[in-house]
Structure 1
Amino acid sequence: MKSVRVVVVGAGVIGFSTAVCIAEALPFCSVTLLAEKFSPDTTSDGAAGILFAAEFPDIPMERQKRWFKYSFNHLLAIAQSKHSPEAGVMLTSGWQIFRDIPADKKPFWSEFVIGFRVMTDSELKRFPDHTFGQAFTTIKCECSSYLPWLEKSFRKAGGQVEQRKLDSLEELINSYDIIVNCSGLGSKTLVGDNKVYPVRGQVLKVEAPWLKHFIRDGDGKTYIYPGIHSVTVGGTRQEGDWRLQADEGDTKGILERCSELELSISKAKVLSEWVGLRPSRRNPRVEKELVWLQGRRMPVVHNYGHGGWGVTLAWGTALEALGLVRQCLHETPLQANL
């Protein structure tokens, strides 16, 4: 009989990564993943899913490095395995280019990606409006394949899945011993976190099988990411914008900007448009707290607020969340159930 009941709230890349880590590492726990929306209807499903990172202002660099390194190594192992096609995880090479020389020419994640180097002058000639660039090989993780693959891994480890809308954590107190909150933007209402806000992202999938290398403008607003079945082009970063419908003006702007970086994009057939709201926060929240729910102290582990870096940091923060769940098991009277 599995004696400790853990519920993970949220079925995006953060929720499923965390649920898999817990179910595989703690076989004496019964783990349920609960969410209103599952793939293909999560924010993660439309993510470009390419691995590099931004710096968060208030999180120690060693911790950010650990998140990135663990995530990269986890996905690299999948990319180099027989699971790669089913999981939607592949290696990808290309360029990040800048109009002005960036303050940080060698970002912290450069030591973990493969073959990171500064672009040569002859390589930069292709991008006449840009003065500096970085070339490297990283990973592209397509969540429309990766999330169903993670769900399979989760079920194989004994995990249960439940689809329903949760209005309050209090609904969980009689059924579970530990709550793991991976509800992303939902944390605004679910745990009353006013520091989490949407950053609207619109992307297009286009048919351009001749494109083999990614190109990303350093400002993060224009990018071309070849994937397994199509090429993702984008994008937008509209803070505080809750609109979920595609905007014609944004589509036109994306195609114009991407065609400036790669002329042949103008010949690509648009397959689909997609909009998602990145669950952004000044810093991701990966921590535990004891919450009073109906007169009872309930351990809650939070793992949300990754913004546009969810795929990049998912496995690293999931492992940290697993560590926090372990701490909850040691610190609370749950120990009596074991």
Structure 2
Amino acid sequence: MPFWADVVLGFRKMTEAELTRFPQHVFGQAFTTLKCETPAYLPWLEKRVKRSGGLLLTRRIEDLWELHPSFDIVVNCAGLGSQQLVGDPTLAPVRGQLLRVQAPWVKHFIRDGSGLTYVYPGASHVTLGGTRQKEDWNLSPDAEISRDIFSRCCALEPSLHRAYDIKEKVGLRPYRPGVRLQKELLARGGQKLPVVHNYGHGSGGISVHWGSALEAARLVSECVRALRTSASTSKL
């Protein structure tokens, strides 16, 4: 499921002439922004981590304690997996279904006031959306929903009737009433495991990922200082 990181660079009320393109609306806003293309951005981040000396391991775990004592501190960014991994009952999926189409003549973002209907052109395709279906784990596309999305988007941009190579996509957003960005000290059998949780961002994960990562890093630094203080004290 693609997401976008938006940085608004300019913001203004749409003119009456611009609004004639959207006869079903009486008010609109226009802005200039940056769009983060995650298919390119995430591999770049991975390379950045490796260049900095980071080691990437792929492993399935059922319990955070499986990482102890190999790791002194754990950062939990498991998203929806945290529902079972740390037993968080407030975490739930918000299902998103959208369409990826070829419509290279579409050059501008368009979305309605609710943000539910949108047309987002990208480097290789145009994304049409969407849905917000709470507590729905279904990853299979619904043909009726796809027809509704296409109809809504064509109402905003009639030229999309000519779109081709239409593909359906479904993803689950890890929703929580509030983002969990905090420390926790787990204890078991005399052992302690510091954990920094960073999950539950819903559909805004990419939009706020850098700030969340900086805060998580700050919390990790606090855990490191606490471990060093504890080690120094034990030597006295």
Q: Say yes or no: TM over 0.5.
A: yes
> Contact 2:5/2:208 (CA < 8 Å) preserved in 1?
no
The separation in 2 between residues aligned to 1:295 and 1:234, in whole angstroms, is 51
Q: Which is higher, the Rg of structure 1 or of structure 2?
A: 2
Q: In the alignment, what sits opposite 1:289?
A: 184
Q: Superposition pairs for residues 1-338 of structure 1, below 5 Å?
A: 46-51=1-6, 72=7, 113-333=8-228, 336=231
Residue 74 of structure 2 aligns with an amino acid whose one-letter code is: I
Q: Structure 1: give runs of 5+ residues left out of the alignment.
A: 1-45, 52-71, 73-112
Q: 1:270 to 1:234 in 2, by over 3 A?
A: farther
Note if contact 1:50-1:141 (Cα within 8 Å) is conserved in structure 2.
yes
Q: Which runs of 4+ in 1 moved over 3 A?
A: 333-337
Residue 334 of structure 1 and its aligned partner are, at CA, apart by 6.7
Could you list the per-position Cα deviations for residues 89-120 of structure 1 after superposition, in whole angstroms to 9, with x for gaps in the alignment? Answer: xxxxxxxxxxxxxxxxxxxxxxxx11111222
The answer to whether the 8 Å contact 1:48/1:232 transfers is no
1:64 alignment partner in structure 2: none
* Cα-to-partner distance string for 1:56-95 (whole Å, 9 max, x where unaligned): xxxxxxxxxxxxxxxx5xxxxxxxxxxxxxxxxxxxxxxx
CA distance in 1, matches of 2:95, 2:209: 20
CA 1:294–1:227 in structure 2 vs 1: closer, same or farther (change >3 Å)? farther
SS at match of 2:82: helix
Question: Could you say what secondary structure the match of 1:281 adopts?
Answer: strand
Structure number with the bigger relative contact order (C-alpha 8 A, sep ≥ 6) is 1
Equivalent residues of 1:177, 1:298 under 8 A apart: yes
C-alpha distance in 2, partners of 1:134/1:252?
Answer: 27
Q: Distance in 2 between matches of 1:128 and 1:48?
A: 28
Shift of 1:222: 0.6
Pairwise CA distance, 1:335: 6.7
Cα distance in 2 for residues equivalent to 1:324 and 1:302? 9
Distance 1:295 1:208 in 2: 60
| Helix, strand or coil at the partner of 1:224 | strand
Distance in 2 (alpha carbons) for counterparts of 1:246 and 1:307: 20
Identity of aligned residues (%): 53
Helix, strand or coil for the counterpart of 2:98? strand
Q: Distance in 1 between matches of 2:36 and 2:104?
A: 18
AA aligned to 2:77 is: C
> CA separation in 2, counterparts of 1:294 and 1:258?
57
Q: Equivalent residue of 2:206, what SS?
A: helix
In 2, the alpha carbon distance for the partners of 1:279 and 1:193 equals: 12
Q: How many equivalent residue pairs?
A: 232
Q: How much has 1:324 moved relative to structure 2?
A: 0.6
